[in-house]
Amino acid sequence: MTGTPESHHETPARIIISVDAMGGDAGPSVVVAGIAKSAKKNPDIGFILHGPEEQLAPLVARRRILRDRVEIRDSRNVVTMEDKPSQVMRSGKGSSMWATVDCVRKGEAAGAVSCGNTGALMALSMLRLRKMPGINRPAIAILWPSRNPQGFNVMLDVGADIRADATDLLQFALMGVSYTRNSMDIAMPRVGLLNVGTEEHKGRAELKEAYALISKRAEDASFEFVGFVEGSDIPGDIADVIVTDGFTGNVAIKTGEGTASLIRSAMREAFEYSLLSRFAALLALTSLKRLSKRIDPRRVNGGVFLGLNGTVVKSHGGADATSVSAAVKLAFRLAEQGFAQKLAARVASAGELNQDNTAAAKAGTAPK
């Protein structure tokens, strides 16, 4: 939608995604393999790839599918997993991550993807893209496998941010609703607020306040508020959007991922135990593959930064080619739907109402 690189692209319909080739655990070759996978599946996608040119050029040249579809932009510096966000904001200019985000700011790309350090990526994205007017705190939303018909729930914030007040949580709810509507085609998403119990009297003060705020906005913002939900509802079917602060969300998804990965190993061990069980696994191969696809976290790789003037997708640091390709696909879909613009419109219309709500809650007039 927004811009194509000035260079060798002859198909103006292509949507350009800006990709950081550096910063992932496995290095640029995996990122190049990932974009090649995307290029193969999707003829309407083009790339601007950021990193040291002498490393990237041979990797790209080796993939025929990438010919004329990738513009390499030379960046000398790499943001590492150990770099502090504050440090990256001061001295990150010239890094591949900075350049990746900046392409979105300049309108050269419709979305950005990076496997690098989450904190640094969020800091740079806020610095370069700026928060949308009316947003206090951007959030990172992920898809989580669930029992819902769509197969996934949206959870936010998972961004490791230390705290979120009631107004932040309301904004997360509104952004999550918009994201769910755009990425999953659900007209009336159901929103749950994560707590340690479903009873209204439980939990922290800011959660009770957020309960009142979100509840009040449900009707005019066209979502259903199901109230407090628990950790077990994140993969459940009573809500489509799970709202929480970045600390709790981050711990929850990592616990869920770790548990899923433990079960996968245990399953592998169980089927490798004896000759008979190996034979059974062979027979059950299709079933096992179907199962594995259903619970494969690589398929839902990609945390979307919400609340910024532009689309940034954070891919898992340990991403392989399949995961990188999933993150690219997500950035592409959101770009194609003009999601960032729709979200901005929604937040803008919600802006004044939020302030009304906060005032009402403080005056004790908010509904239960």
Q: Nearest approach, Cβ of 253 to its own copies (angstroms)? A: 7
d(CA 268, CA 278) in angstroms, rounded, equals 10
The count of C-alpha atoms lying within 13 angstroms of the C-alpha of 254, restricted to the half-sphere facing its C-beta, is 12
In this complex, which beta carbon is closest to its own copies, that of residue 165 or of residue 336? 165
Quick note: the x/- pattern for its own copies over 192-211, rule CB under 8 A, is --x-xx-x-xxxx-------
Q: Nearest approach, Cβ of 289 to its own copies (angstroms)? A: 9
The vertex-16 CA angle with 10 and 19, nearest 5°, equals: 130
* Residue 228, H or E segment: strand 224-229
d(CA 186, CA 11) in angstroms, rounded, equals 32
Q: Nearest approach, Cβ of 230 to its own copies (angstroms)? A: 5
Burial classification of residue 150, based on how many CB atoms lie within 10 Å of its CB (0-12 exposed, 13-18 middle, 19 or more buried): middle
Q: Nearest approach, Cβ of 211 to its own copies (angstroms)? A: 15
d(CA 365, CA 368) in angstroms, rounded, equals 9
In this complex, which beta carbon is closest to its own copies, that of residue 187 or of residue 276? 276
d(CA 20, CA 221) in angstroms, rounded, equals 36
Length of the chain as a residue count: 368
In the region spanning residues 284 to 313, those forming contacts with its own copies, defined by CB under 8 A, are 284, 286-288, 290-291, 294-295
Contacting residue, 51, 246, 302, 307, with its own copies by CB under 8 A: 246
In the region spanning residues 122 to 181, those forming contacts with its own copies, defined by CB under 8 A, are 145-147, 160, 162-163
In this complex, which beta carbon is closest to its own copies, that of residue 106 or of residue 147? 147
In this complex, which beta carbon is closest to its own copies, that of residue 32 or of residue 166? 166
Residue 283 is a binding residue for its own copies (CB under 8 A)? yes
In this complex, which beta carbon is closest to its own copies, that of residue 102 or of residue 245? 245
Q: Nearest approach, Cβ of 333 to its own copies (angstroms)? A: 24
Q: How many residues bind its own copies (CB under 8 A)?
A: 64
In the region spanning residues 51 to 110, those forming contacts with its own copies, defined by CB under 8 A, are 82, 84
Q: Nearest approach, Cβ of 118 to its own copies (angstroms)? A: 9
In this complex, which beta carbon is closest to its own copies, that of residue 71 or of residue 157? 157
* Residue 336, SS3 per DSSP: helix
Q: DSSP for 243-303?
A: E--HHHHHHHHHHHHHHHHHHHHHHHHHHHSSHHHHHHHHHTHHHHHHHHHHT-GGGG--E
In the region spanning residues 309 to 368, those forming contacts with its own copies, defined by CB under 8 A, are none
Contacting residue, 64, 276, 364, 367, with its own copies by CB under 8 A: 276
Q: Which stretch binds its own copies (CB under 8 A): 7-15, 57-65, 72-80, 280-288?
A: 280-288
Q: How many CB atoms lie within 10 A of CB 132?
A: 22
Contacting residue, 232, 363, 364, 368, with its own copies by CB under 8 A: 232
Q: DSSP for 37-51?
A: HHHHH-TTEEEEEEE
Cβ 142 vs Cβ 334: under 8 Å: no
In the region spanning residues 251 to 270, those forming contacts with its own copies, defined by CB under 8 A, are 251-263, 265-267, 269-270
In terms of phi and psi (left: phi > 0; alpha: psi -120 to 50; beta: otherwise), the region of 113 is beta
Q: DSSP for 130-172?
A: -BPTT-SS-EEEEEEE-SSTTSEEEEE--S--S---HHHHHHH
Burial classification of residue 42, based on how many CB atoms lie within 10 Å of its CB (0-12 exposed, 13-18 middle, 19 or more buried): middle
Q: Which residues bind to its own copies, rule: CB under 8 A?
A: 82, 84, 119, 145-147, 160, 162-163, 194, 196-197, 199, 201-204, 230-236, 244, 246-248, 250-263, 265-267, 269-271, 273-274, 276-277, 279-281, 283-284, 286-288, 290-291, 294-295
